[in-house]
Structure 1
Amino acid sequence: MTSFFEGIADLFVNHLFWPLDQLRFMHSWWGANIINWILAVIGFVAFVYWMLQLKEYSDNDEEDKSISSHSYL
């Protein structure tokens, strides 16, 4: 059972994370952080998209009145 977990560790450390090790030892700060910049841009684009969708939903005066936690009787 130990060899199974050591095999998983070897797979991740020596094979799957190898590209990240190469980025870590680069001399360029921008190059080493390219994955972080890509993820930040994707997050920013997703945030802007979500805010525009919420604004469109709000401008159309759409409100989901079918969901309520109160009976209002």
Structure 2
Amino acid sequence: MRAFWEGIQTLFVDFLFKPWDWLRSLELTNWWLANILTWISIGICFYYTIYWCKELKKHQDNNEENQDTTAHSFLK
């Protein structure tokens, strides 16, 4: 059983977390390059938040949204 858990440890520490170790060491030399994934994620989230708000506004303007409190059976 011990070999099973050590195998999982080896998988994560030696293989799956290597890119994160590289990013951690890169941060000491170039902060911007090390955080490029964070900036990309922030940009994607910002874009889709704006898209979602525009879609909500479009449905509200077309009166397609049912805002009745009894719209769901569990709210009766």
TM range (shorter): 0.7 to 0.9
2:11 alignment partner in structure 1: 11
Distance 2:21 2:64 in 1: 49
- Cα distance between partner residues in 2 of 1:32 and 1:4: 33
What TM-score comes out, normalization by structure 2 length? 0.79
Q: Give the count of matched residue pairs.
A: 70
Equivalent in the alignment of 1:31: 33
**Displacement after TM superposition at 1:63 (Å):** 2.4
Identity %: 44
Query: What does residue 64 of structure 2 align with?
Result: 62
- Higher RCO, 1 vs 2 (CA within 8 Å, ≥6 residues apart): 1
- Decide which structure has greater helix share: 2
Q: Which residue in 2 is equivalent to 1:53? A: 55
Unaligned 5+ segments in structure 1 are none
RMSD of Structure 2 on Structure 1 (CA): 1.6
Structure 2 unaligned spans of 5+: none
